[in-house]
Amino acid sequence: MSASTFRFAPSPNGRLHLGHAYSALLNDRLARAAGGRLLLRIEDIDPGRSRPDLVDAVLADLAWLGLRFAAPMHQSARMAAYRATLDSLAARDLVYPCFCSRSEVAAAARRAAGDGPVLRDPDGAPLYPGPCRHLSADAVAARLARGEPHTWRLAMDRALAAPPGPLGFSTFDPEGATGFVAADPARWGDTVIARRDVPASYHLAVVTDDAAQGITHVVRGADLLAATDLHVLLQALLGLTHPRYHHHALLLDATGAKLAKSRGSRSLADLRAEGVAAAAVRARLGFG
């Protein structure tokens, strides 16, 4: 295995846009500069949003940009690994099943807030105030035996008490500067670590797979900076090594908003259809 291993990890729930292209090309440049390798991971755990035709489109868009990869890892094929990770956390009582619906969570968070504002995690989801945190072991066993749908939540207080020492992560940037950022995972509260339909959330899957792929360097958008606090906590709980991180600035559109298909940002496929050359896209992004 080479010393430095990077990854590009798109979610195939839409066509790639210039922001994805920037992230992929930056990973490629930094992996080359480090004499390392760049792996591709298709983050398709979401059965409702990931489509096989979009996976093919992602690969085609990357090839058009000049990026070719060895066989990618597909998260949809990794459910047994996620189950094992989840089971190991459950065996240590660091997670608990939550039977609340989304609206029950919202209502409980409003009640907990009283006259004040609802407390939210960095993604804007309400911090979970219970009630499933306090279910008795017998009640949990009975509801699981009945097959009641449930997510799994991290028991944040117990999780924070488990790993040794303060948490944080090492950073690097393209200019060669390095640093260390203290992590504050408590702000995620009892976050969902496994969904109803799959034995993982993005957070659990990304940590499991970064370790399985031997990732040493994570290069991704600044929108995932806060999530890294949770990732280093999970890595510490699971005894995994911590990669180094570089969170790059997001590309913004003319209105200053983050590029997104939902806001009508043009995809790489749109640009290609308009006759824009891949070399022009690379040059526009600073990779000419």
Binding region for ligand GLU (CB under 6 A):
9-11, 43, 206, 220, 224
What separation in angstroms does the CA of 275 have from each of 57, 227, 259, 269? Answer: 17, 37, 21, 10
Tell me whether strands 5-8 and 73-74 are parallel, antiparallel or unpaired: unpaired
Q: Shortest approach of ligand GLU to residue 93 CB, angstroms? A: 27
Residues with Cβ within 8 Å of residue 143, at least 6 apart in sequence: 97, 99, 135, 150
Give whichever of 143 and 258 is closer to ligand GLU, judged by the CB atom: 258
Coil, helix or strand at residue 192: strand
Give whichever of 153 and 247 is closer to ligand GLU, judged by the CB atom: 247
Q: Shortest approach of ligand GLU to residue 43 CB, angstroms? A: 4
Coil, helix or strand at residue 56: helix
Q: Shortest approach of ligand GLU to residue 132 CB, angstroms? A: 28
Q: Shortest approach of ligand GLU to residue 9 CB, angstroms? A: 4
Give whichever of 17 and 150 is closer to ligand GLU, judged by the CB atom: 17
- The number of residues in the chain equals 288
Of 268, 284, 263, nearest in space to 15 by CA: 268
Give whichever of 159 and 215 is closer to ligand GLU, judged by the CB atom: 215
Give whichever of 220 and 242 is closer to ligand GLU, judged by the CB atom: 220
Q: Give me 107's structure tokens.
A: 């209502």
Q: Shortest approach of ligand GLU to residue 105 CB, angstroms? A: 23
Q: Please, what sign has the CA dihedral across residues 134, 138, 139, 144?
A: positive
Degrees to nearest 5, angle at CA 57 with 52 and 61: 155
Q: Identify residue 158 by its one-letter amino acid code.
A: R
Give whichever of 11 and 267 is closer to ligand GLU, judged by the CB atom: 11
Give whichever of 98 and 228 is closer to ligand GLU, judged by the CB atom: 228
Of 21, 26, 19, nearest in space to 218 by CA: 26
Coil, helix or strand at residue 73: strand
Q: Shortest approach of ligand GLU to residue 198 CB, angstroms? A: 14
Contact 219, 173 (CB under 8 A): no
Q: Shortest approach of ligand GLU to residue 59 CB, angstroms? A: 15
Q: Shortest approach of ligand GLU to residue 8 CB, angstroms? A: 8
Give whichever of 19 and 189 is closer to ligand GLU, judged by the CB atom: 19
What separation in angstroms does the CA of 74 have from each of 52, 79, 150? Answer: 11, 10, 24
